[in-house]
Amino acid sequence: MLERVPSAEEIRAMNKDELRSLAQEIRQFIIEKTSVKGGHLASNLGAVELTLALFSVFDFPHDRVIFDVGHQSYTYKILSGRKDGFDHLRDLNGISGFPKRKESPYDSFDTGHSSTSVSAGLGMVMARDLQKDDYHVISVIGDGSFTGGEVFEALNNAAALKSNYIILLNDNEMSISRNVGGLNRYLTNLRAGKGYNRLKDIVKQAFRKLPGLIKGISNFKDSIKEILMPRGMFFENIGIKYFGPVDGHNIPEMQRILQKAKDLNRCVLIHVKTMKGKGYEPSEKKPEWFHGVNAFDIATGLPLKAADGRSYSAVFGNFIDNAALTHPKIVAITAAMTENVGLTDFAAHFPERFFDVGIAEGHAVTFAAGLATSGLHPYFAVFSSFLQRGYDQIVHDVCMQDLPVTFCIDRAGIVGRDGETHQGAFDLAYLSGIPNMTVMAPRDALEMEEMLSFTLDFNRPSAVRYPRGKAKERLDKVRPQPIVYGEAELIERGSKIAVLSFGDRFNDALETVERLKQRGYRPSFVNMRFAKPWDEKLVDELSNDTELFITMEDGAIFGGIGEKISAHLSEKGYHGTVRNIGIPDRFVPQGNPDELYHLLKMDADGVMEIIENDLVQIKA
Q: Mind telling me the catalytic residues?
A: 276, 361, 389
**Rounded to whole angstroms, how far apart are CA atoms 401 and 387?**
19
* Rounded alpha-carbon distances, angstroms, from residue 141 to 176, 221, 405: 14, 26, 32
Residue 452 DSSP SS3: helix
Do the strands 489-492 and 524-527 form a parallel or antiparallel pair, or are they unpaired? antiparallel
Query: How far is C-alpha 344 from the chain's CA centre?
Result: 18
Q: Are 372 and 405 in contact (CB under 8 A)?
A: yes
The strand ranges marked E within 457-585 are 462-465, 489-492, 496-501, 524-527, 530-532, 546-556, 577-583
Strands 438-440 vs 462-465: parallel, antiparallel or unpaired:
parallel
Residue type, position 569, single letter: L
CA distances (Å), origin 209, targets 52, 203, 214: 33, 11, 9
Q: ∠ CA 522-597-109 to the nearest 5 degrees?
A: 155
For 276-329, the DSSP string reads: TTTT-HHHHH-TTTTSSB-SB-TTT--BSS---S-BHHHHHHHHHHHHHHH-TT
User: CA 119 to CA 131: how far, in whole Å?
Assistant: 18
Burial of 325 (0-12, 13-18, 19+ CB in 10 A): exposed
Question: With contact defined as beta carbons under 8 Å apart, do 574 and 565 qualify?
Answer: no
Residue 562: helix, strand or coil by DSSP?
helix
Distance (Å, rounded) from C-alpha 260 to C-alpha 243?
10
Number of Cβ atoms within 10 Å of the Cβ of 14: 17
Give the CB-side neighbour count of residue 204, counting CA atoms within 13 A.
8
State the virtual CA torsion across 299, 81, 140, 415 in degrees, nearest 10.
60
